[in-house]
């Protein structure tokens, strides 16, 4: 995620706000012995509703389950990949209300009531989203594990800034890693994709 106003990169932001929100959620789930404390949730499964790519899904998860695992193992929405599972690689990147998040580092509970977007929802039938097409045109993928995260980070960038400079694109994508070395192709794709409308 890239907060342009404060010039804070996604990785910087995650280190601060992301960890803080997880800590808050975990604390909320711990049995509180104080009379005024938050209500305990879990450890058994609880019902939740997630809105993903415009569709509402009702499911039951333990409070400790991440958004990524809820999508992949409960809902069979497998576009975003589980690679590091610790907020380091960006393969699990989703867009929530215009901002990118590592879905491996967000609890499913936290994502309720928000519009979650994954790579699964980008194409219209057989027609790829302009960013997906640009990745194909510029060889922005090899093994493909990092690709869904890069695609979503690029979509988030171009929805805010349709004509980024190379520096802006690099900064917006600095929370994503590719071990196959496709970064040049990814950057070309991010700079050439056109027709991305505001999400
Ligand atoms: S799998 Fe989430 S950041 Fe690597
Ligand atoms: S294409 Fe293989 S990790 Fe990026």
Please choose from 90, 101, 175, 177 the residue to mutate so as to test ligand 1's pocket, defined by most ligand atoms within 8 A of CB: 90
* pLDDT for the residue numbered 24: 42
Edge-to-edge order in the sheet of strand 93-96: 55-61, 46-52, 115-117, 93-96, 99-102
Q: State if residue 176 touches ligand 2 by the CB under 6 angstroms criterion.
A: no
Question: Closest-lying ligand to the alpha carbon of 135?
Answer: 2
Question: Closest-lying ligand to the alpha carbon of 104?
Answer: 1
176 Cα: distance to centroid of ligand 2 (angstroms) = 10
State the closest ligand 2 atom to the C-alpha of 180, by its place in the atom list counted from 1.
Answer: 2
Query: Measuring from each residue's beta carbon to the nearest atom of ligand 1, which residues come in under 6 Å?
Result: 82-85, 87-92, 102, 104
Q: What is the DSSP string of 131-185?
A: HHHHHHHTT--SS-SSHHHHHHHHHHHHHH-SS--HHHHHHHTTT---SS--HHH
* pLDDT for the residue numbered 197: 81
* Pairing mode of beta strands 93-96, 46-52: unpaired
Phi then psi for 127, rounded to 5 degrees?
-100, 120
Place of tokens 């209300």: 97
- Tens digits of pLDDT across the chain (199 residues): 444 444 455 555 454 444 444 444 444 444 454 567 888 888 999 999 999 999 999 999 999 999 999 999 999 999 999 999 999 999 999 999 999 999 999 999 999 999 999 999 999 999 999 999 999 999 999 999 999 999 999 999 999 999 999 999 999 999 999 999 999 999 999 999 998 986 6
* pLDDT for the residue numbered 87: 98
Which protein residue has the closest C-alpha to ligand 2 atom 4? 178
105 Cα: distance to centroid of ligand 1 (angstroms) = 7
40 Cα: distance to centroid of ligand 1 (angstroms) = 28
43 Cα: distance to centroid of ligand 1 (angstroms) = 24
Q: CA quadruple 86, 90, 96, 98: dihedral positive or negative?
A: positive
42 Cα: distance to centroid of ligand 2 (angstroms) = 37
């Amino acid at each position: 995620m890239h907060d342009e106003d404060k010039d804070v990169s996604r990785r910087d932001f995650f280190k601060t706000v992301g960890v803080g929100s997880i800590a808050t959620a975990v604390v909320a789930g711990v049995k509180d012995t104080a009379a005024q404390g938050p209500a305990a949730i879990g450890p058994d499964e609880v019902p939740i509703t997630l809105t993903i790519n415009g569709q509402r899904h009702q499911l039951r998860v333990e409070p400790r389950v991440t958004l990524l695992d809820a999508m992949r193992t409960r809902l069979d929405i497998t576009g975003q990949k589980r690679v590091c599972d610790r907020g380091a690689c960006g393969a699990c990147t989703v867009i929530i209300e215009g901002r990118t998040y590592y879905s491996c580092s967000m609890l499913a509970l936290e994502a309720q009531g928000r519009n979650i977007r994954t790579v699964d929802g980008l194409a219209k039938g057989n027609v790829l989203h302009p960013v997906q097409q640009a990745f194909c045109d510029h060889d922005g993928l090899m093994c493909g594990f990092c690709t869904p995260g890069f695609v979503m980070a690029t979509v988030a960038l171009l929805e805010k800034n349709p004509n980024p400079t190379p520096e802006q694109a690099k900064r917006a994508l600095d929370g994503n890693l590719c071990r196959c070395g496709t970064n040049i192709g990814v950057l070309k794709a991010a700079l050439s994709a056109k027709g991305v409308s505001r999400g």
